[in-house]
Structure 1
């Protein structure tokens, strides 16, 4: 059986999320065997227990970064976690081999619709192009095997006040969780 570590990088999963919160809740119900690391709950002050976090990574076969896209990137909490935990001598460098050969899956949501992420849109890039430039070099440096992204666009937190839009968003995120679990099981 694979050891799966889901790292939730939302800056406030409990109070400021619908999409990512739904994905995490669905995964917890369907796959209690996965280990869940909700950074906003464990480290609200952004000060990480580096040794404990590195041990979680050592035990994992599959690592999932679950996050909303903020300003065309991962949230600051997840970025700082990477900066503090995925360091030289542990994850890369001549003696930093702890992550080599592990699978990495980026699972994320965007508030903007898929149409916003095209070469023809105002963004001028696909979401894959934007995040690939951030995640692929990190994976390569650490010897991680980056898997295809799992993502859902158009699930804006702003829709939470419209009951129909909210239910549609939650359903799309439940489907996202199912797809993510399938990718995990097949990688």
Structure 2
């Protein structure tokens, strides 16, 4: 049986209650259960035990991270979770430090990861799809979604996780289309996660 850890990185605000992120987590759970995945969950704004989170990361074949795009990154409670869990796991459990060795101190920085699982980012964003990959748009200046998320991808790479294609639900605050997002997400999960894990 394949094993999935689903992390919900949403942070509650009165204007952003987390309904879209919750719906995407529920959709992922439904699909993965139908494919006989065993699933564990983490909600980063709630209480958790750091050592148990490390065990979940060691256990999982795939980590599905569902989170809002928040100030061009992730919410503070999710960042706190990463700081606590990944830093604790950095020295021998999830990675062998920063990957460098005394005999070659200038080589292999960031390549000490001990995990061999995969990860899939799923983001909800206020930005419309048209804001990305378009040099005519003055804010992002043509960068892609994954360009914006480079620090998060590097965090995963540090621990040895391999990427699956990122999913975005766009314009969720001003022009939300959650029913269509759920259809796209279901197809994405089946094509990316079910077929590749």
TM-score between the two structures when normalised by the length of structure 1: 0.80
- Provide closer, same or farther for how the CA distance between residues 176 and 66 of structure 1 changes in structure 2, counting only shifts above 3 A: farther
Which protein is richer in helix relative to its size? Answer: 1
Q: Any conservation in 1 of the 2:96–2:113 contact (CA below 8 Å)?
A: no
Identify unmatched segments of 5+ residues in structure 1: 160-164
| Equivalent in the alignment of 2:24 | 23
CA shift, 1:84, in A, is 0.7
2:98 and 2:171 map into 1 onto residues whose CA distance is 42
Quick one: which of 78, 91, 95 aligns to 2:94?
Answer: 91
CA shift, 1:19, in A, is 1.6
Q: Any conservation in 1 of the 2:62–2:118 contact (CA below 8 Å)?
A: yes
Choose between structure 1 and 2 for higher RCO, CA contacts under 8 A separated by at least 6 residues. Answer: 1
User: How many residue pairs align between the two structures?
Assistant: 172
| Equivalent in the alignment of 2:194 | 185
* CA-to-aligned-CA distance 1:33-67 (integer Å, 9 cap, x gap): 42222223x32xxxx41111111111101011111
Quick one: which of 119, 124, 140 aligns to 2:135?
Answer: 119
2:13 and 2:58 map into 1 onto residues whose CA distance is 25
Greater shift in the superposed pair: 6-15 or 170-179: 6-15
1:94 and 1:76 map into 2 onto residues whose CA distance is 24
Identify unmatched segments of 5+ residues in structure 2: 100-111
1:94 and 1:134 map into 2 onto residues whose CA distance is 18
Runs of 4+ residues over 6 Å off in structure 1: 95-98
CA shift, 1:24, in A, is 1.4
- Provide closer, same or farther for how the CA distance between residues 113 and 137 of structure 1 changes in structure 2, counting only shifts above 3 A: same
CA shift, 1:94, in A, is 5.2
Counterparts of residues 1-187 of structure 1 (less than 5 Å): 1-12=1-12, 16-32=17-33, 33-40=38-45, 42-43=46-47, 48-87=48-87, 88-89=90-91, 90-93=93-96, 99-117=114-132, 118-121=134-137, 122-124=139-141, 125-131=143-149, 133-156=150-173, 158=174, 169-182=177-190, 183-187=192-196
Q: Which has the larger radius of gyration?
A: 2
SS of residue in 2 equivalent to 1:34: strand
SS of residue in 2 equivalent to 1:66: strand
Q: Any conservation in 2 of the 1:13–1:21 contact (CA below 8 Å)?
A: no
